[in-house]
């Protein structure tokens, strides 16, 4: 039986995505995953990439691993996070060339990197009733899980998030469109759970992003809660909900990190076991919020920033965890990253050592609490290379 966070105290994990190996240059390009696995070149690169990503997480000592979202194409600004499902849904036709979205809300113009990212996200046109297509989440998870004895967490964008990247010419009713998408994703998540996936992460409820806009009402947030929970009915797995402030090509959508405060009461109403939040980017300034509300959910805090290339020192990670423990008991704390590492902005080496630092920082606090520590194979590797260097120096007559 694969473990979940019910079996762990202060488990560690990354959000999901991981930088692609440079040699992994194949894309699905809208194909069915199962069909693409019949292509020898794609199959070999995909399997090797997933194995490399999982091995890196195991070597870093993470308790829960992911497949690095390796199904996603190498597109501008993480476009495939939205468009993997969009390219496979029925009822969509072509795209609408538009500049609405972040650019309109943030006053962005050509010459800004986020303008380029948004221009790559041309919304698909809803021309008919939306229907479920070959998302094949269970097959993708099974490929990854057979490569490791650790639980593989499978993450996917939520239905309301998908809806934000569609141009409706059929429903004429935003809520009806969202609810049809929720039923499609619910069927996919239920099938994934039935296949044995122990941890399903449904990503980015729209609550916190919407609360940055002054026209958002309580009724808007109530509908978002109703819709999000509709996806989770009957999903027999541990459900995670991931929230962050975005990761378009490792760029900050909001230079000043916004607050979760208005959204938090609604987020706590989501039917999940674990809620994750950005905390590293804000240096933990909102950790006290988690002491204001009673909940039996586990809270995941990001202790690693996905928007910079600096590897956080383990001591910095440990400090964030200690501050979180002032408001969240250790049995309800999950240690993770602010967001995924993406496919453009970070190298595999940097992502790997961020994972190592995440675990080593957690181990510092585990020692203080008398909890078992995770083995970090990176430390074993450094000892190995040190011994090789010493042996080489000795042969050369170098001072010891």
| pLDDT tens-digit series, residues 224-248 | 999 999 999 999 999 999 999 988 8
How far apart CA 370 and CA 65 sit, in angstroms, is: 24
**Predicted model pTM:** 0.93
Joined together, the tokens standing for residue 258 give 């916004």
Helix axes 137-145, 174-194, angle to 10 degrees: 40
Tokens 């004429």 found at: 172
Q: What per-residue confidence (pLDDT) applies to 221?
A: 98
Q: What per-residue confidence (pLDDT) applies to 399?
A: 47
Joined together, the tokens standing for residue 208 give 């916190």
Taking alpha carbons only, the member of 92, 77, 118 closest to residue 30 is: 92
Q: Is residue 228 part of a domain?
A: yes
Joined together, the tokens standing for residue 51 give 């194995």
Average pLDDT, the chain: 92
Which whole number is the average pLDDT over 135-145? 98
Q: Is residue 127 part of a domain?
A: no
List the single range of 117-121, 286-290, 385-389 with lowest mean pLDDT.
385-389
Confidence of residue 116 (pLDDT cuts 50, 70, 90): confident
Q: Is residue 355 part of a domain?
A: yes
How far apart CA 175 and CA 177 sit, in angstroms, is: 5
Q: What per-residue confidence (pLDDT) applies to 396?
A: 55
Q: How many CB atoms lie within 10 A of CB 158?
A: 27
Tokens 């970070």 found at: 346
- DSSP state letter for 244: -
Q: Is residue 379 part of a domain?
A: yes
| Burial (CB count within 10 angstroms: exposed 0-12, middle 13-18, buried 19+), residue 41 | exposed
Joined together, the tokens standing for residue 15 give 């959000």
Q: Is residue 270 part of a domain?
A: yes
Task: Give one word for 375, left, alpha or beta, with left for phi > 0 and alpha for psi -120 to 50.
Answer: beta
Inform me whether the pLDDT recorded for 380 exceeds 80: no
Confidence of residue 385 (pLDDT cuts 50, 70, 90): low
Inform me whether the pLDDT recorded for 60 exceeds 90: yes
Q: What per-residue confidence (pLDDT) applies to 247?
A: 85
Tokens 């202790």 found at: 303
Tokens 């693409």 found at: 36
Confidence of residue 111 (pLDDT cuts 50, 70, 90): confident
| Helices and strands of the chain, counted as H and E runs | 14, 9
Q: What is the CATH number of the domain that holds 240?
A: 3.20.20.210
Which whole number is the average pLDDT over 58-64? 97
Q: How many domains, the chain?
A: 1
Q: What per-residue confidence (pLDDT) applies to 400?
A: 47
Confidence of residue 361 (pLDDT cuts 50, 70, 90): very high
Confidence of residue 378 (pLDDT cuts 50, 70, 90): confident
Among positive and negative, which fits the CA dihedral 3, 7, 11, 17?
positive
Joined together, the tokens standing for residue 353 give 């050592």
Strand order in the sheet with 274-277: 153-157, 199-203, 238-242, 274-277, 298-302, 333-336
Top pLDDT among 398 and 180 is at 180
How do the residues of the chain divide into helix, strand and coil, expressed in percent and rounded to 5?
40, 10, 45
320, 301 Cβ separation under 8 angstroms: yes
Joined together, the tokens standing for residue 301 give 């805090």
Instruction: Give Cα separations from 56 to 49, 152, 176, 280, 309 (angstroms).
Output: 11, 13, 42, 22, 17
Inform me whether the pLDDT recorded for 393 exceeds 60: no
Inform me whether the pLDDT recorded for 383 exceeds 70: no
Q: Is residue 37 part of a domain?
A: no
φ and ψ of 263, to 5 deg = -80, -25
Q: What per-residue confidence (pLDDT) applies to 191?
A: 98
Strand order in the sheet with 124-131: 90-95, 124-131, 166-168
60, 358 Cβ separation under 8 angstroms: yes
Q: Is residue 124 part of a domain?
A: no
Q: What per-residue confidence (pLDDT) applies to 94?
A: 87
Q: Is residue 206 part of a domain?
A: yes
Joined together, the tokens standing for residue 235 give 């999903």
Q: How many CA atoms lie within 13 A of 38 on its CB side?
A: 4
How far apart CA 35 and CA 286 sit, in angstroms, is: 45
| Contacts of residue 323, Cβ cutoff 8 Å, sequence gap at least 6 | 284, 287
Q: What per-residue confidence (pLDDT) applies to 345?
A: 82
pLDDT > 90: percent of the chain:
80
179-192 residue pLDDT tens: 999 999 999 999 99
141-196 residue pLDDT tens: 999 999 999 999 999 999 999 999 999 999 999 999 999 999 999 999 999 999 99
How far apart CA 218 and CA 269 sit, in angstroms, is: 14
- Domain range enclosing 210: 5-18+53-75+135-162+171-394
How far apart CA 351 and CA 359 sit, in angstroms, is: 13
Joined together, the tokens standing for residue 37 give 């696995």
């Amino acid at each position: 039986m694969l473990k979940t966070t019910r079996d762990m105290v202060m488990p560690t994990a990354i959000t999901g995505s991981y930088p692609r190996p440079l040699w992994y240059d194949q894309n699905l390009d809208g194909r069915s995953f199962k069909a693409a696995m019949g292509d020898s070149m794609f199959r070999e690169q995909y399997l090797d990439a997933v194995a490399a990503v999982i091995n890196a997480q195991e070597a870093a000592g993470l308790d829960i691993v992911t497949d690095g979202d390796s199904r996603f194409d190498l597109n501008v600004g993480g476009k495939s996070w939205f468009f993997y499902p969009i390219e496979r849904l029925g009822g969509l036709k072509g795209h609408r060339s538009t500049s609405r979205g972040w650019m309109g809300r943030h006053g962005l113009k050509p010459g800004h990197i986020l303008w380029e990212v948004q221009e790559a996200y041309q919304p698909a046109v809803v021309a008919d009733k939306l229907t479920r297509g070959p998302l094949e989440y269970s097959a993708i998870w099974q490929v990854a899980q057979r490569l490791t004895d650790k639980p593989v967490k499978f993450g996917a964008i939520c239905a309301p998030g998908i809806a934000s990247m569609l141009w409706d010419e059929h429903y004429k009713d935003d809520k009806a469109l969202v609810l049809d998408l929720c039923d499609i994703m619910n069927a996919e998540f239920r099938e994934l759970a039935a296949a044995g996936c122990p941890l399903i992460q449904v990503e980015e409820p729209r609550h916190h992003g919407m609360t940055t806009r002054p026209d958002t009402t309580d009724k808007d947030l109530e509908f978002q809660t109703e819709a999000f929970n509709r996806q989770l009915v009957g999903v027999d797995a541990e459900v995670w909900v991931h929230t962050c402030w975005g990761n378009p090509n490792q760029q900050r959508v909001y230079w000043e990190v916004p607050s979760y405060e208005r959204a938090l009461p609604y987020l706590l109403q989501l039917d999940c076991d674990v809620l994750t939040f950005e905390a590293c980017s804000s240096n933990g300034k909102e950790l006290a919020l988690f002491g204001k509300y009673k909940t039996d959910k586990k809270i995941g805090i990001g202790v690693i920033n996905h928007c910079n290339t600096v590897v956080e020192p383990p001591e910095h990670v440990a400090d964030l965890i200690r501050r979180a423990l002032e408001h969240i008991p250790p049995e309800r704390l999950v240690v993770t990253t602010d967001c995924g590492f993406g496919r453009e902005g970070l190298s595999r080496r940097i992502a790997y050592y961020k994972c190592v630092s995440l675990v080593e920082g957690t181990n510092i606090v585990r020692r203080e609490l008398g909890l078992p520590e995770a083995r970090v194979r990176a430390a074993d590797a450094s000892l190995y290379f040190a011994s090789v260097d010493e042996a080489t120096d000795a042969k050369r007559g170098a001072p010891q």
